[in-house]
A = this chain, B = another copy of it.
Amino acid sequence: MSILVIGSVALDTIETPFGKRKDILGGSATYFSYSASFFTGVNLVAVIGDDFPKKHIGLLKSRGINLDGLKVIKNGKTFRWSGSYKYDMNEATTHSTDLNVFETFNPQIPERYKNSEYVLLANIDPDLQLNVLSQVKKPKLIAADSMNLWINTKKPSLMKLLKKIDIFIINEGEARLFTKQPSLIKAGRMILGYGPKHVVVKKGEHGCLLFSKNGFFSAPAYPIEDIFDPTGAGDTFAGGFIGYLAKLNKTHTEHDLRKAIVYGSVMASFNVESFSLERLKKLTDKEIQARYKQFKEFTHIK
């Protein structure tokens, strides 16, 4: 079952202890779509300027990602993000966020996307996320990501969104910011109380926590010796996570969710091995399955 994803398609300028890159392919919807495409079909909704390199379009198309919903603005400038990572690579410092064509984006969902049963609202303005949601006819599973910017500036819209979705994905620092709780366990349970059926708290190199009404799951990260660039790890995680659930295409059990989280973690582990989508471009299904198997072995208690 295909996933409808709305989010950013961007050009990133990134500095890590291992190097610097200017205007490389990035964006939440880009990472999500590419990652999810290993599991299922993807219908992308986003906006770019006509400065966006054609080769990137070709790359997304090569994975079968449907781009009918990718709007190109004539004389527009693509969304740009610039950031850097310190020594421990756990948190990005944002240097600049130029929304550009996203500033006036009014997403129109193509007719053939409107029957999508799986929807991923990647990290963009919660009002845009709500707008998209209102155009989808009968979604079966809706997941959303967000960030500190929206928690700080658009909390009412975010709270409204949380009542309409099944899975909310957020990172550790944002969960603490959102709830003003130092305890992640309390924070996760508190967000669950805001409406979603499940909350995933991402903790970077420390893995993630899944909170459900009647369940709790703690997953480590796949052990990577050299994290080269963590940009997009969360979106790549979401791609594997929701991608696997959409592939199953059935009412998921707690154990389906856990397996989905492991697939998400595995996808993220590949992504952090290089800048942009460089590692994912070379990724094979065999490699995904091998790491999935290893992941289970690394956490197994007899």
Q: Is the CB of A87 within 8 A of B226?
A: no
A258's closest neighbor in chain B, by CB? Answer: B301
Contact segment of A53-61, A142-150, A161-169, A177-185:
A177-185
Chain B hits for A203, CB < 8 A: 206
Q: Is the CB of A301 within 8 A of B299?
A: yes
Residues of A near any B CB (own CB < 8 A):
17, 87-89, 176, 182-186, 189, 203, 205-207, 209, 216-221, 223-227, 255, 258-259, 262, 295-296, 298-302
Known A216-B298, A218-B298, A301-B299; judge A224-B185 contact (CB<8 A): yes
Chain B hits for A299, CB < 8 A: 217-219, 299, 301
Q: Can you report 5 A-B residue pairs in the complex whose CB atoms are below 8 A from each other?
A: A88-B182, A89-B182, A207-B220, A219-B220, A255-B302
Known A203-B206, A220-B207, A220-B220; judge A226-B302 contact (CB<8 A): no
Tally of this chain's copies: 2
Q: Is the CB of B89 within 8 A of A185?
A: no
CA distance A216 to B294 in the complex (A): 10
Instruction: Indicate which residue in B184, B217, B295, B298 contacts A205 across the interface (CB closer than 8 Å).
Output: B184
Chain B hits for A219, CB < 8 A: 220, 299, 301
Q: How far is the CB of A186 from chain B (nearest CB, A)?
A: 5
Known A87-B182, A183-B226, A205-B184; judge A259-B301 contact (CB<8 A): yes
Chain B hits for A89, CB < 8 A: 182
CA distance A209 to B186 in the complex (A): 24
Q: How far is the CB of A63 from chain B (nearest CB, A)?
A: 27
A261's closest neighbor in chain B, by CB? Answer: B301
Instruction: Indicate which residue in B217, B221, B255, B302 contacts A298 across the interface (CB closer than 8 Å).
Output: B217
Q: How far is the CB of A215 from chain B (nearest CB, A)?
A: 9
Q: Is the CB of A227 within 8 A of B301?
A: no
Chain B hits for A183, CB < 8 A: 224-227
Chain B hits for A17, CB < 8 A: 182
A224's closest neighbor in chain B, by CB? Answer: B185
Chain B hits for A226, CB < 8 A: 183, 186
CA distance A203 to B225 in the complex (A): 17
Q: How far is the CB of A171 from chain B (nearest CB, A)?
A: 14
| Extra 7 A-B pairs, beta carbons < 8 Å, given A206-B206, A218-B220 | A88-B182, A184-B205, A185-B225, A203-B206, A207-B218, A209-B220, A217-B299
Instruction: Indicate which residue in B189, B216, B259 contacts A302 across the interface (CB closer than 8 Å).
Output: B259
Known A259-B301, A262-B301, A299-B299; judge A185-B220 contact (CB<8 A): no
Q: How far is the CB of A200 from chain B (nearest CB, A)?
A: 14
Known A203-B206, A206-B203, A207-B220; judge A186-B225 contact (CB<8 A): yes
Q: How far is the CB of A183 from chain B (nearest CB, A)?
A: 6
